[in-house]
Amino acid sequence: MPSVPSTAAAVTVGITGIWVLYSSLFLLRNYIKARAIGVPIRVIPVSHSNPFWMLMDRPVLSVLRRFGLGSTSFARYGFRLWEIEDRTKSHQEMGPVFILVTPDRNWLYIADPDTINEVFRRRTDFPRCVELTEVLDVFGPSIATAEGARWKVQRKIVTSCFTEPTNKIVWSESLWLAKDMLQYWTSKPSLATTARDCRTLSLNVLSRAGFGKSFKFEGQEEQTSSSETYQGSLQMILENCFLIFAFGTKALGNPWLPEKLNKVHKACEAFQNYMTAMYEEAKGADDPTSKNFIASLVRASQREDEHAPTEKELYGNMFTFNFAVHDTTAHTFTFALYFLAAHPDVQAWINEEIREVFKDEDYSYTRDFPRLKRCLALMLETLRLYTPVPVAKWTESQEQSLNVGGGKTVVIPPNTMVLPSYGAIQSEPDHWGNDPLVWRPSRWIEPTSDSTSRPGSEELINWRKGTFLGWSDGARDCPGRKFSQVEFVATMATLFRDWRVYPVLEHGETLESAQERVKKLIETDSGPVLLL
């Protein structure tokens, strides 16, 4: 009679064999579909969008590279945000369009600006892939996962949240919190909490402008909040989003799972409770003059018509605001600070502008924000090299024809992903000059021959449409663009008016070698990670 371990091993081998056979059949099916399109092909055995694979892709990639397999298609394309590392390499090898075949579906990548513009323009032909974005429906449907008529209603409601009165709140709150963060930072001989602190600042700005809750900045070492507070629960959710997307919130609450996973479940419960409390508070306040997100959403939900958002949609949008508006801005802050630490010349360049614009202590959003072009250029250049979340389109249930440049038109089968190659299009020498991989914010400032031109009176360059997609484009571009710009500019202007940032020197290291080390760190350690 076989033992229990041997039976379990046999079952495991059997399940693995069935999975391999199943994946192989679907991979072959998708390869045949890709061949019919008539563009270059690369094949990988697992989809990089598979939430379970996302939990292990980076460690597996590290092993492949250790054994000299880093140049295989699997190692090049089989992990999240491979586009950032690949940049223009694949398109230099295969041209402006190629297709990546996986068992799940095929992914068509485009690096031609005119073709990208056409994809964004044809919103109904190339909608967002709801099957991918629905992982964001952790707390309910939102604008990120809506399509068709429902999306139009959601878009109108969400757009009403991002107004100039809201931007003024973002400006003043960012200035105040940045001063607090600066006071905390300057009390330390060195910092190892930059990313966490930037996330805290960004979360607090959103809390005030979005939900009417003002929090004083606390550095990581000062924080006493647990995963059961609003800030602590959201922090844990954002840091473990891939885990939540893969298993769902309820599954993580099973008592037989490790305590760390149960903590993520408790954080989800706590955040839901806080959203419910804020919703009930906003309903009870009944203030028609309130301009924050939650008040706008509640007013929309109280309309007596079929288009009024449901309570679940309200919670879904509240989470989406936190996930998209706060988290992506916080990442951009962190990248920008590391870049600045490696580029003291850029720090001097923006300080010149800040000193010119902030001549007194009366920092005005209306007067000063439009003049801080160099500070905004920091954000644009950082997003050019490290766009946080590329947007995926697809053909849904219909085949679509698409002109892919050079007079060539391809017919794309149903259920095919169609993506602008962000990493390639935003670092293509034909668009960005002979130094596209160099972080140089001044490339965004319009050159002038006027000797009287000075900081605070410069203009930004409008690069060719379709070559910069920091906030996506078309009808479904990011409605929080101005919100994030105001937050970033106000914070950077406050931090660098009187202070500088430098890398901490390791033993025997010069400042120049430390700056090169920081640049290398940005290039090699920029993927998303799972934190527990």
Neighbours of 137 (CB within 10 A): 19
Count CA atoms closer than 13 A to 470's CA, side-chain side: 24
Using CA atoms, how far apart are residues 175 and 115, in angstroms rounded to an integer?
41
Using CA atoms, how far apart are residues 206 and 200, in angstroms rounded to an integer?
10
Burial string for 325-364 (b: 16+ CB within 10 Å, else e) reads bbbbbbbbbbbbbbbbbbbeebbebbbebbeebbeeeebe
- Residue closest to 470 by CA, chosen among 331, 342, 292: 331
Contact 317, 143 (CB under 8 A): yes
Burial of residue 316, with CB atoms counted within 10 A of its CB: 0-12 exposed, 13-18 middle, 19 or more buried:
buried
Using CA atoms, how far apart are residues 89 and 68, in angstroms rounded to an integer?
19
User: Locate tokens 């952790």: which residue?
Assistant: 138
**Residue 500 tokens, joined:** 């500088």
Count CA atoms closer than 13 A to 56's CA, side-chain side: 7
**Residue 187 tokens, joined:** 């009390």
Contact 39, 410 (CB under 8 A): yes
Question: Do β-strands 393-394 and 416-420 pair in parallel, antiparallel, or remain unpaired?
Answer: antiparallel
- Residue closest to 416 by CA, chosen among 114, 151, 98, 142: 98
Per-residue DSSP letters for 240-306? THHHHHHH-TTGGG-TTS-HHHHHHHHHHHHHHHHHHHHHHHHHHH--TT--SHHHHHHHHHTSSST
Distances in Å between the Cα of 220 and the Cα atoms of 8, 28, 264 are 45, 50, 19
Q: Residue type for 59, please?
A: P
Per-residue DSSP letters for 15-67? HHHHHHHHHHHHHHHHHHHHHHHTS-EEE-SS-TT-HHHHTTHHHHHHHHHHT
For residue 478, say whether it is annotated as part of any ligand binding site: yes
Using CA atoms, how far apart are residues 43 and 320, in angstroms rounded to an integer?
33
Beta bridge partners of 411: 401
Distances in Å between the Cα of 178 and the Cα atoms of 217, 231, 456 are 8, 18, 21
Contact 99, 39 (CB under 8 A): yes
Known binding-site positions: 478
Known binding-site positions for heme: 478
